[in-house]
Amino acid sequence: MTMMRLLFIFALAIFTIDNVSGQEKRSDMAKFTLVIHGGAGTILKKNMTAEKELAYRDKLKEALSAGYGILSKGGSSIDAVEAAIIIMEDSPLFNAGKGAVFTSEGKNEMDASIMDGKTLEAGSVAMVNTIKNPISAARAVMEQSPHVMMVGEGAVKFAKEQNLEIVDSSYFYDEKRYQQWQDFKGSIGTQMDHSDERADNTTEQINAEFNEPVDEKFGTVGAVAIDVNGNIAAGTSTGGMTNKMYGRVGDSPIIGAGTYANNKTCGVSSTGHGEYFMRAVVAYDISAIMEHKGVSLQEAADEVIHNKLIKLGGSGGIISVDSEGNFALTFNTEGMYRGSIREDGVPSVSIYKD
Amino acid sequence: MTMMRLLFIFALAIFTIDNVSGQEKRSDMAKFTLVIHGGAGTILKKNMTAEKELAYRDKLKEALSAGYGILSKGGSSIDAVEAAIIIMEDSPLFNAGKGAVFTSEGKNEMDASIMDGKTLEAGSVAMVNTIKNPISAARAVMEQSPHVMMVGEGAVKFAKEQNLEIVDSSYFYDEKRYQQWQDFKGSIGTQMDHSDERADNTTEQINAEFNEPVDEKFGTVGAVAIDVNGNIAAGTSTGGMTNKMYGRVGDSPIIGAGTYANNKTCGVSSTGHGEYFMRAVVAYDISAIMEHKGVSLQEAADEVIHNKLIKLGGSGGIISVDSEGNFALTFNTEGMYRGSIREDGVPSVSIYKD
């Protein structure tokens, strides 16, 4: 028994030292991680011009840089996530904020959500049209309202009360997105049947049929970060699917599907065919697998994106960061606009499969 | 080795017989289970009249009977869940359909969702106002649209196209609910601060302060069933919280929070303070804990409702059925309107803590 006790005390001491030094290490080195995405889909090099590719890479780097500026000064992961997403919302390159796609009625309807992994507080907006930065409205819902989700006119009214920037709906108008909707609208009978067809067709077939880049259907943006204090945050923002039915809401504003963050496990932001992500509760599932099974973030992400989601028929990807600052950028599509940056300040940006 | 092989074959035979007989048993005995809830909250016997209690008990039995009629004839769990919920939506006793509470702008905004555990297909509507039975609209979204979630005007338009019954908004008017809103509205400054206060106060305090039954704040309805074919379905319908902000959406239409069903694990319908159920992804978490940890439904439900949710500060409950037909009716409030029925046709109905 005495031997056992000694062994136990020894083990406890090792465990304690290890934990303390682990924490100190993070603090001393001011470690942090930020990852972002600009959507997953059939992104093929053959459909991309050098100019367009450069534009995407530059904008992703700009978003990483915005978040890095905050995290490197000891700022919070929530601030970094919001800042990175705002850069992408303000760019017509992505299907969020300016550049959002058109619904079947020719409107823009945007959704966004954000979650704080320290408090498990969350906020989201859906079907908003005149809020310049939906991610900031989601944050206001989280921090300034007793609610988690606000939708439509009520959400816009709340955003106005919070003095968020409201713009005319023409602000979101993007010639390319509008033309894309016109092409789409002109080539179909009823939208619903067609959406079904598109979901069933391969993206290659659709691409050939409509002579347009199919990747435009995706293009949701998101960011996940862990700050120097070990707090994780995640956020997602989208304009939804081109020609979606009026009133359709996808996974981006849904806590557990599009966005999830928990300091104990990880933060996740999803992008892809939202209906499948909602049915599979993708973002929370990655956290739950880590928590319940004790596997790594990459193993959990692979299980959800490359196994469970594929079995269900869903395409897309996620970006995620765990409590140690490890990250996973995992997708089952041809490509995902993505990037990462750590305390060394060197941005890494990728588009296609490795 | 030969001995080992024999043992292995013997074990395989036992396993096979056991499995086959298990399935046959279900089929032969036509086993099924239906559970329902009419909301959880501070439901105290001292605040209840004998007449009111009888009305609730009778209506819960009527809902169980509607589902039983379908399941006992070999009907599907989806049909039974919808039928049971319609009975409760049509009754002003519950905060769903007729009898839904009023928002801070004096409107009714209803939400509902449904999920099929066999296919993992799901449908939901949120912020709808003139659809007589929101649960049927959720089912139509699941079965007749390519989407999972539809919100507001778009959802109502879709319901009309699906020939669902549309009623004048006066249909939902209930004198008691309206008076409740008037009392609430009259006694507060800004609704938002007040909602926060209410959330922080104990329900007893609020009850004393406003001299109204606090349980009315809850009252979401739901049903979960497993049919003779072993298919699980779950559904939830609500009018939300009294005096909620215009545009607030709670957990009821959120797949993973308010509703989840998976033949592999269980079906769940939630009721309570929705914001906490969304942040904790309650319905899916019970399924995930069963799947990942291999524990029983009751253990998973206890872990989520009596441990994780309480740590977060959330009150409410869930009803759930697992793939063996076991059920759990678990809540951390003073009471939950609830009932169950199995193949013997004897309904069981309860209101308070045991």
What are B150-187's pLDDT values in tens digits? 999 999 999 999 999 999 888 887 776 666 656 655 55
Q: Of these residues, B33, B42, B220, B271, which one is catalytic?
A: B220
**Chain A partners within 8 Å of B255 (Cβ):** 254, 257, 278-279, 281
Does this complex have an ipTM over 0.90? no
Mean pLDDT throughout B333-351?
97
Nearest CA of chain A to the CA of B293: how many Å? 6
A31 touches chain B (CB under 8 A): no
Q: What is the pLDDT along chain A (354 residues), one digit of tens a residue?
A: 455 555 555 454 444 444 433 333 444 468 999 999 999 988 888 888 999 999 999 999 999 999 999 999 999 999 999 999 999 999 999 999 998 877 666 677 899 999 999 999 999 999 999 999 999 999 999 999 999 999 999 999 999 999 999 998 888 877 666 666 566 555 443 232 223 333 333 333 333 333 334 444 568 999 999 999 999 999 999 987 766 778 999 999 999 999 999 999 999 999 999 999 999 999 999 999 999 999 999 999 999 999 999 999 999 999 999 999 999 999 999 999 999 999 999 999 999 987
Q: How far, in Å, CA of A255 to CA of A282, rounded?
A: 10
At A26 the pLDDT is 46
pLDDT in tens, B100-139: 877 666 677 899 999 999 999 999 999 999 999 999 999 9
Do B247 and A288 make contact, defined as CB atoms within 8 angstroms? no
User: Residues A120, B257: contact at Cβ < 8 Å?
Assistant: no
B151 touches chain A (CB under 8 A): yes
**Chain B partners within 8 Å of A280 (Cβ):** 120
Q: Of these residues, A42, A103, A203, A220, which one is catalytic?
A: A220
**Mutual orientation of helices A50-71 and A77-89 as an angle, nearest 10°?**
150
**Chain B partners within 8 Å of A275 (Cβ):** 146-148
| Whole-prediction pTM | 0.85
At B43 the pLDDT is 85
pLDDT for residue B54 is more than 50: yes
Residues 6+ apart with CB under 8 A from A338: A35, A36, A37, A38, A60, A317, A319, A329, A349, A350, A351
At A3 the pLDDT is 54
Picking from B149, B195, B197, B286 by the largest number of A CB atoms within 10 A of its own CB, the best residue to mutate is: B149
At A257 the pLDDT is 98
Q: Of A350, A354, A342, nearest to A34 (Cα)?
A: A342
The class (CATH top level) of B30-177+204-352 is alpha beta
**Per the structure block, which two tokens stand in for A259?**
């966005």
At B29 the pLDDT is 61
Q: Which band of pLDDT confidence, cut at 50, 70 and 90, is reported for residue B191?
A: very low
CB contact residues (below 8 A), chain B span 156-175, against chain A: 157-158
At B186 the pLDDT is 52
Residues 6+ apart with CB under 8 A from B237: B85, B88, B89, B96, B97, B110, B111, B112, B134, B135, B138, B220, B221, B222, B252
Picking from B157, B252, B255, B295 by the largest number of A CB atoms within 10 A of its own CB, the best residue to mutate is: B255
Nearest CA of chain A to the CA of B263: how many Å? 13
At A241 the pLDDT is 74
Quote the mean pLDDT of chain B: 84
Do A151 and B293 make contact, defined as CB atoms within 8 angstroms? no
Q: How far, in Å, CA of B282 to CA of B285, rounded?
A: 5
Picking from B194, B241, B245 by the largest number of A CB atoms within 10 A of its own CB, the best residue to mutate is: B245
Q: How far, in Å, CA of B200 to CA of B197, rounded?
A: 5
At B312 the pLDDT is 96
Do B150 and A247 make contact, defined as CB atoms within 8 angstroms? yes
SS3 B295: coil
CB contact residues (below 8 A), chain B span 267-326, against chain A: 274-275, 278-281, 284-285, 288-289, 292-293, 312
Parallel/antiparallel/unpaired status of strands B149-151 and B232-238: unpaired
At A203 the pLDDT is 36
Do B149 and A121 make contact, defined as CB atoms within 8 angstroms? no
Residue A248: CB atoms within 10 A of its CB come to: 28
SS3 A117: coil
Q: How far, in Å, CA of B259 to CA of B221, rounded?
A: 11
**Per the structure block, which two tokens stand in for B48?**
């209840």
Mean pLDDT throughout B58-80?
98
The verdict on whether B220 is a catalytic residue reads yes
At B149 the pLDDT is 97
DSSP states along B69-114: HHHTTT--HHHHHHHHHHHHHTSTTSSSSTTPPP-TTS---EEEEE
Do B148 and A289 make contact, defined as CB atoms within 8 angstroms? no
At B1 the pLDDT is 45
Do B127 and A281 make contact, defined as CB atoms within 8 angstroms? no
At A42 the pLDDT is 82
Do A147 and B279 make contact, defined as CB atoms within 8 angstroms? no
**Mutual orientation of helices B134-144 and B152-161 as an angle, nearest 10°?**
80
At A196 the pLDDT is 33
Picking from A120, A278, A312, the nearest residue to B148 by CB comes out as: A278
Sequence spans of domains, chain B: 30-177+204-352
Q: Is A346 exposed, middle or buried (0-12, 13-18, 19+ CB in 10 A)?
A: exposed
CA atoms within 13 A on the CB side of A233: 30
**Chain B partners within 8 Å of A293 (Cβ):** 292
**Chain A partners within 8 Å of B250 (Cβ):** 147-149
Alpha carbon separation from A1 to A4, A173, A295, B287 (Å, rounded): 5, 75, 34, 42
At B213 the pLDDT is 40
pLDDT for residue B99 is more than 90: no
What is the amino acid identity at position A175? Answer: E
A264 touches chain B (CB under 8 A): no
User: Residues B282, A256: contact at Cβ < 8 Å?
Assistant: no
At B258 the pLDDT is 98
Picking from B125, B127, B161 by the largest number of A CB atoms within 10 A of its own CB, the best residue to mutate is: B127
> Which alpha helices (H) appear in B120-202, and where do they start and end?
134-144, 152-161, 175-186, 191-200
